[in-house]
Amino acid sequence: MRPKTISEKIFESKAGRECRAGDVVECEVDYVMVNDVTGPLAFRAFEETGMEPVREKIVLIPDHFVPAKDVDSAQQAKEMREFAKRHGIPHYYEVGRSGVCHQVMIDDGFVAPGRLIVGADSHTCTYGGLNAFGTGIGSTEAAYVFATGRLWFRVPESIEIVLRGKLRENVSGKDLILRIVGDLGMDGATYKALEFSGPGVASIPMPDRFSMSNMAIEAGGKAGLFPYDPVAKRFAEAVSRGEYEGVNADPGAEYVRTLEYDLSKIVPMVAVPPRPDGALEASKCDVAIDQAYLGSCTNGRIEDMRIAAGIVKGKRVAPGVRMIVVPASVDVHRKMAAEGLIEVFLDAGAFVSGPTCGACLGGHMGILSDGEVAVSSTNRNFIGRMGHPGSKVYLASPATVATSALAGRIRAPEGFE
């Protein structure tokens, strides 16, 4: 039998037949997720079908405008709340009991190795960090899954990213994926899956895997997939609900392209606006900032908070700089409180909010004005992404964000100045 990639194996399992890259198949979907922005369109399209929803597969998570920032966003949230009540959807996460959709999907165990999960949000590819094929879809496609539990896909070709060695202290998976996206370009992986492999994978912790898979879409990728190894196995055993089966690529599987990285040579990076592929070494980016933003589905996990808190502890955010800290879920928020991290950030002069997508998408709680510059642990830095079209966003790791907040300028973490 022909050797297969992780993607081909997952689609083969969910389609119930042999398939290869390029095939168009209809598959059984494990879960479908929508948020407060993409949900209302899906709800309206679904209601037109007159069908009963596949309730157990539907996950509804308000997160983009949480708490509601205006009348329009309050109406969107209301539509989601009423849809959940009307149809008896068990997996609905009210404000105060949820967080950023992708982190909630992980925290509450919906993500597991070998699963096929779709979400009406482009960063659904985050789930590949745990060996699941997660991918973004449109709202009307989500409505179809609501009704049938199935969806058609074109099985993607795959790009192999071979990792060797180990990342140095103060260098993270965010730095690595910024380097990779810079090398691939924003369209270098269009409708392809990134599959991470090689001996260096074992040294990449789960939070960094999620960050890297999250940004596969910034190179045009359909998914970003890590193998099912002991690191993934331990995480899934602790968190994932239900039965699942991990998937690994076969030796000799066919890839359309292979990139190789020595992790010991990766340094702290930033993405220079207005593109996520604007890779530049952080030490070469001496730019004054107005805001340092820590959070989002890319880097709002407890490990990110610990890294940043360790850097700012006992210090003060630079005069004229706003540091905004946004945990990605209620679970992260609770752990921050229990570990004293909230107090560390407050003592440093930072603002700490509850879990929300916040300013990442230009929503609220940290919007930039004309001419303002932010260094941010988020995933996109397009023109106007976090506010005024005249503002600028430099993407970076939590360590670089925290270091820059103290300096008042973009600075690489200790050891890479």
Structure tokens at 415: 């050891």
d(CA 227, CA 158): 13
Please check whether residue 127 lies inside any domain of the structure.
yes
The C-alpha atoms of residue 406 and residue 381 are separated, in whole angstroms, by 22
Q: Write out residues in the chain with pLDDT < 50, as ranges.
A: none
Distance CA 118, CA 136 (A): 6
CB atoms within 10 A of CB 260: 12
Domain count of the chain? Answer: 2
164 and 33 assigned to the same domain: yes
- pLDDT score of 417: 74
Q: Is residue 413 part of a domain?
A: no
Residues 199 and 312 in one domain: no
CA distances 72 to 37, 68, 75, 78, 188, Å, are: 10, 8, 5, 10, 37
Do residue 296 and residue 231 come from a single domain?
A: no
Residue 415 in domain? no
Cα 303 to the chain's mean position, in Å? 14
The last residue of one of the domains, among 236, 262, 288, is: 262
Tokens standing for 48? Answer: 């037109």
Q: Is 399 left (phi over 0), alpha (psi -120 to 50) or beta?
A: alpha
pLDDT at residue 297, rounded to an integer: 97
- Check whether the bond before 67 is cis (ω within 30° of 0): yes
| Helices 173-184 and 206-214, packing angle to 10 deg | 30
In contact, 247 and 4? CB cutoff 8 Å:
no
Residues 113, 181, single domain; the answer is: yes
Same domain assignment for residues 162 and 296? no
pLDDT digits (tens, 9 = 90+) for 268-317: 999 999 999 999 999 999 999 999 999 999 999 999 999 999 999 999 99
CB 145 within 8 A of CB 180: no
241 & 275 share domain: no
Kindly report whether the global pTM for this prediction surpasses the value 0.95: yes
Boundaries of domain holding 313: 268-407
Same domain, 291 and 223: no
Query: Which residue's structure tokens are 């604007």?
Result: 278
3-state secondary structure of 160: strand
Q: What is the CATH number of the domain that holds 334?
A: 3.30.499.10
pLDDT of residue 1: 79
Cβ proximity of 278 and 37 under 8 Å: no
Question: Same domain, yes or no, for 312 and 348?
Answer: yes
For residue 132, being part of any structural domain is answered with: yes
Residue 291 and residue 169 share a domain: no
* CA-CA-CA-CA dihedral for 200, 204, 208, 213, to nearest 10: 50
| CA distances from residue 273 to 11, 32, 159, 193, 393 in whole angstroms, order as listed | 36, 32, 26, 25, 6
> Is the same domain home to 282 and 373?
yes
Could you tell me if residue 237 is inside a domain?
yes
pLDDT of residue 416: 86
Answer yes or no: is 417 within a domain. no
d(Cα 378, Cα 380) in Å, to the nearest integer? 6
**311 and 207 share a domain?**
no
Quote the CA–CA distance of 406 and 292 in Å, as a whole number. 9
Among 233, 254, 235, 256, CA closest to 245: 233
Same domain flag for 258 and 288: no
